[in-house]
Structure 1
Amino acid sequence: MARIRIGISGWRYAGWRGVFYPAKLKQAQELEFASREVQTIEINGSHYSLQSPQSYTRWYEATPKGFVFSVKGPRYLTHMLRFRGERASVALANFLASGIFNLHEKLGPILWQFPPSFKFDRVAFEAILQSLPAHTDEAASLAAKHDKQVKEVCLSPGRKRRLRYAIEIRHPSFCDEAFIKLLRKYRAALVISDSVADWPYAEDMTSDFTYLRLHGTQTLYGGEYSDAALEHWSIRIRKWASGLEPKDVQRISSKPARRRAGRDVYCYFDNDKKVQAPFDARRLMQRLSDN
């Protein structure tokens, strides 16, 4: 049965204290608080540096049963190495060894966000998708090839589970039928990215789940979503969760998505600059629960 999860991108923001977080709440308790206000959270720290197995364990223990994290893949891979060369294989192993297995059943999609300067090349991008392990056992085998960059490792994957990947693109060259075919071949989800920035916007369904990132309405990472905007998104989210597409779907591909009985939906508000993300997430959750 398809699940809809609405949440936020990150949770540790100084400007949220005393606004979203109660004034006297300890910083160490912020995740515990946030995870009971929303249904899923993107882990952003993993994009900037390798985290530790202890951190992932702490995040697992702080959150309630049924909660799900997405994990943002390292920018070292997407922005610097761009998944090229032997060093990229080691960097991927390091990321997988750094503790994500300690999220256990709370590990949701892994998000790969590519920079605006990253152009689509069919052969190169297929190599990237091929390099991503399909399930946790395969990921553990790759993680064992880590180097000394990882000070503490976690190589125990637990129960074998399929890994889900979400791909966020920001260069217009990705508006190519070949790109959508690759995502469908490897069952990776195209991130539906709503932003005032000049990034491609598309709603092609390429996997058995849908991944949305709502980056703000007035500036990048700022601007509250109006009631009308939330209604727009709630209608689309219900369609995607039912396995269908909206009638006014905006696709790159000329081919519609394969109809399914349902799709899980992950929706993250990233308009965090003025503390709008958690409140918009709660408003959308309420709107979805009311209908």
Structure 2
Amino acid sequence: MTNAAIRVGIGGWTYEPWRGTFYPEKWPIKRELEYASRHVTAIEVNGTYYSGFKPATFEGWAKTAPDGFVFALKASRFCTNRKVLAEGGESIQRFVSQGIVELGDKLGPILWQFMATKKFDPDDFAAFLALLPPTQDGVALRHAIHVRHESFAVPAFIAMCRAAGVAIVFADSQDHPAIADVTADFVYARLEDALEDEPAGYAPATLDRWAEAARTWAAGGAPESLPYVENAAPPTTPRETFVFFINGAKVRAPAGAQALIERLRA
């Protein structure tokens, strides 16, 4: 059985401390996406959380990045930062219809991130999942849910995400509970616990473990030692796997991503 693709990336590409550390000295700001997309294999776009973009912008990103590159898009805050999620249908439709399909085959998962204070309300969350469109303009959409409150670590949440084919984001974080249960045909992981005194954010031995975890996910397995709500293993089916170095010591994120890519190529 052939493993699915593993894509490793960072959050965004415009960050001043990366100039002269990740980007070469005097590298043109307008060409930062060009550089970043050739040194990592995916980028999680944070700007889409705060504002909308024109179709031409997504088209431009797609043309700049090389073949095989993938953009994950963080969904608008107007979709997720609301008391009643079931009332977010209009905002969700506005987000997916703004032109994201212009990314073509470089369109990766949509990340729906919730505030750390958002608690699990089974009925409301089920209604939210039902609002997530499977397609837009004939293009299949994939959805990843990033919850950050301990109330979500229950079988009911796992079951509803699995039924919807929606991935639960696994986040390596000191601040929020992690859920490693696999619920979709892809895996989405965020490594948020980087340390600035580590050149690659994580110690070499830790990066070795994340490389092994990524390979296990891509082969359809469930890495041992991660926190699971359920003991039952998912079907052993290869899954495209996304691993993002994001938050934590952000200045180290590109080095961490490149170090993991090197391990996966070995």
For Structure 1 versus Structure 2, the TM-score category normalised by the shorter chain is over 0.9
Q: CA deviation at 1:39?
A: 0.4
In structure 1, the partner of 2:261 is 285
Q: CA deviation at 1:80?
A: 3.5
In structure 2, the partner of 1:102 is 102
Q: What SS does the aligned partner of 2:262 have?
A: helix
CA-based RMSD: 1.8
Q: CA deviation at 1:131?
A: 0.3
In structure 2, the partner of 1:43 is 45
In structure 2, the partner of 1:232 is 209
Q: CA deviation at 1:253?
A: 1.8
Give the Cα–Cα distance (whole angstroms) in 2 for the partners of residues 68 and 223 of structure 1.
22
The yes-or-no answer on 1:171 pairing with 2:149 is: yes
In structure 1, the partner of 2:167 is 189
Q: CA deviation at 1:223?
A: 8.1
Give the Cα–Cα distance (whole angstroms) in 1 for the partners of residues 93 and 227 of structure 2.
36
In structure 2, the partner of 1:117 is 117
The yes-or-no answer on 1:23 pairing with 2:25 is: yes
Q: Is the 8 A contact 1:177 1:254 kept in 2?
A: no
In structure 1, the partner of 2:139 is 161
In structure 2, the partner of 1:9 is 11
Q: How many residues align?
A: 262
Which structure 2 segments of 5+ residues have no match? none
Q: CA deviation at 1:195?
A: 1.3
Q: Deviations over 1:230-287 (max 9, x none)?
A: 0111111111111112243421123221222x11100000047452001100000001
Match of 2:219 among 232, 242, 250: 242
Give the Cα–Cα distance (whole angstroms) in 2 for the partners of residues 167 and 247 of structure 1.
22
What stretches of structure 1 move > 6 A for 4+ residues in a row?
Answer: none
Give the Cα–Cα distance (whole angstroms) in 2 for the partners of residues 177 and 109 of structure 1.
23
Q: Is the 8 A contact 1:196 1:218 kept in 2?
A: no
In structure 1, the partner of 2:67 is 65
Aligned residue identity for 1:178: A
Q: What SS does the aligned partner of 2:251 have?
A: coil
Q: CA deviation at 1:49?
A: 1.0
* Identical residues among aligned pairs (%): 39
Q: What SS does the aligned partner of 1:6 have?
A: strand
TM-score by length of 1: 0.85
Q: Is the 8 A contact 2:195 2:248 kept in 1?
A: no
In structure 2, the partner of 1:204 is 181
Aligned residue identity for 1:255: A
Aligned residue identity for 1:33: Y
Aligned residue identity for 1:103: L
TM-score by length of 2: 0.93
Q: CA deviation at 1:186?
A: 0.4
Call closer, same or farther: CA 1:286–1:188 in 2, change over 3 Å.
same
In structure 2, the partner of 1:74 is 76
Aligned residue identity for 2:149: H
Give the Cα–Cα distance (whole angstroms) in 2 for the partners of residues 238 and 286 of structure 1.
13
The yes-or-no answer on 1:268 pairing with 2:244 is: yes
